[in-house]
């Protein structure tokens, strides 16, 4: 075997090693993203002032279990979401990623009266909840009818506008489901409108806010654009 052939084989061997390294790096990254940690960006103001548009989060996808991709099932189940926890999930209607706060779990009775949330007949005081609209929409007629619960579970309140925003329920959260709301209560598309969330749709719990910037400030003002005080804060 001449020197040129040996040199060519060595070059091919190095290229093959490089390709294999890239492939393995990609596979490992996908495994981490699928089962352990995933990055998310906050696209809307529904969780203000806890989470802002332009916040970037790392989400712990193992806290509730090891999820089978593209399904609502877990390979292993560790625990259910708890009241007060912020969760990342797939919206049952838009199929997009949502972030909201778990307000109630299966078996709980939830009611909203004049913007105040009642859990199992007791008013809960939430320091994270904000109301930016002074209007108080009246409740839907027939809130205490037996059909109200079923209509809510079927997602039929998606089309009623603000009439479930400030006065809602009472309803009972079905077993295996949770009731979620945005902290920005007057501007959140959540369980008040589209019904209970299947716990199997929950992908994980935000762990840390690793980056944040103001969307409306141009890049040449980078010092003002970056929200330095929010970076590397834990999310709760």
pLDDT one-digit tens code per residue, 28-38: 777 767 778 99
What's residue 160's pLDDT?
81
pLDDT greater than 70 at residue 5: no
Measured between its terminal Cα atoms, the distance across the chain in Å is 66
User: If pLDDT is split at 50, 70 and 90, which confidence band does 10 have?
Assistant: low
Mention the CATH class of domain 37-234: mainly beta
User: If pLDDT is split at 50, 70 and 90, which confidence band does 17 have?
Assistant: confident
pLDDT one-digit tens code per residue, 105-160: 999 999 999 999 999 999 999 999 999 999 999 988 776 677 899 999 998 888 88
pLDDT one-digit tens code per residue, 54-68: 999 999 999 998 877
pLDDT greater than 80 at residue 196: yes
What's residue 11's pLDDT?
60
pLDDT one-digit tens code per residue, 84-97: 999 999 898 888 89
Q: Where are the domains of the chain?
A: 1-35, 37-234
């Amino acid at each position: 075997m001449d020197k040129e052939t040996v040199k060519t084989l060595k070059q091919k061997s190095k290229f093959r090693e490089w390709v294999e390294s890239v492939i393995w790096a990609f596979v490992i990254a996908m495994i981490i993203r699928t089962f352990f940690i995933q990055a998310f960006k906050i696209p809307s103001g529904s969780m203000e002032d806890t989470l802002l548009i332009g916040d970037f989060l790392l989400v712990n996808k193992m806290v509730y279990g090891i999820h089978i991709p593209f399904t609502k099932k877990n390979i292993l189940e560790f625990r259910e979401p708890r009241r007060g926890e912020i969760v990342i999930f797939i919206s049952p209607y838009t199929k997009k990623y949502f972030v909201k706060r778990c307000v109630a779990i299966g078996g709980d009775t939830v009611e909203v009266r004049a913007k105040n949330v009642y859990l199992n007949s007791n008013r809960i005081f939430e320091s994270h909840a904000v109301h930016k609209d002074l209007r108080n929409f009246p409740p839907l007629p027939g809130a205490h009818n037996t059909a109200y619960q079923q209509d809510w579970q079927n997602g039929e309140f998606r089309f009623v506008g603000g009439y479930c925003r400030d006065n809602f329920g009472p309803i009972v959260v079905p077993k295996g489901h949770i009731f979620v709301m945005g902290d920005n209560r007057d501007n959140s598309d959540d369980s008040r409108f589209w019904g209970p969330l299947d716990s199997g749709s929950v992908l994980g719990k935000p762990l840390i806010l690793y980056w944040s910037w103001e969307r409306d400030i141009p890049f040449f003002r980078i010092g003002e654009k970056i929200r330095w005080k929010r970076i590397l804060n834990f999310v709760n």
